[in-house]
Every structure is written in structure tokens, then in C-alpha cells.
Amino acid sequence: MKISVTLTLLAFYLVAAFYACNKTKNEESNTCKYAADIKPIVIKSCAHTGCHGAGSAIADITQYSELKKRAKNGVLQKNVLELGIMPPTGHDPLTTQEKDKLKCWLDNDAPQD
């Protein structure tokens, strides 16, 4: 009987340790920091000539303050995540991971870091 209890406890601790380890990995992969995660996406996918780069007549979203405005008014969510019209045809679409990071950032009120 002692062996059965010991094996049951051991199994419980192994499952708990496995769950905790996976939870930590998932939390780390879901980071959504502006400087580390969001700005590189914007630079790669949005800051093209004639689009949303420095000096753009449309909007320079390489600057946090401009991107934050579009995050707060819902334009970023709508155009990128809902309608999928940004980036426009002819530019590489965002990957699922990039969209997940953007959604995480938006869901957390678009912090600067």
C-alpha cells in the first residue's frame, strides 16, 4: 500500500511540474512588448515608402504615439486583425505569430513597455 501511495504522489508531482513548465513557456511566448515585439513588426510590414514610415502623409506609425492612437481608436485592430487589409496586397502578410503578438499588445491596452 505504501508503494501505491508513493507512486500516486510521484505521478501527481510529475504532472504538476509538467503543467507549470508548459505554462511558463506559453507565457514567455506570448510577450507583447512594444520595443521588442511590436515595433519590429511595424518596421518590417508597415514602414514602406508611401505607406506608414517616417514622413508619411498617411501616418508615421513607426512612432509609438501615432501607433497608440490607432490602437486606441480601433483602426489597427480592424484593418490588420479583422479585415486583413493591412499590410496591403503586394506586401508580405503578417504571420500568425506576429498577429498573436499584435493582438496581445492591443488586448493589454498597447503599452509602451
User: Mean per-residue pLDDT for 96-110?
Assistant: 97
Q: Taking the mean position of all CA atoms in its chain, how far away is CA 77?
A: 12
Write out the three cell numbers for 58: 498617411
Are residue 24 and residue 38 in the same domain, yes or no? no
Q: Where are the alpha helices (DSSP H) in the chain?
A: 2-29, 39-45, 64-72, 75-76, 96-107
Are residue 53 and residue 93 in the same domain, yes or no? yes
* Structural domain harbouring 24: 1-30
Q: Do you find a cis peptide bond into 88, omega within 30 degrees of 0?
A: no
Pairwise CA distance, residues 88 & 6, whole Å: 60
Structural domain total, the chain: 2
Give this prediction's pTM: 0.71
Q: How many CB atoms lie within 10 A of CB 52?
A: 21
Are residue 83 and residue 103 in the same domain, yes or no? yes
**Cβ neighbours of residue 88 closer than 8 Å, sequence gap 6 or more:** 51
- Tell me the pLDDT tens digit for each residue of 1-59: 566 544 454 444 444 445 554 444 434 455 799 999 999 999 999 988 788 988 888 88
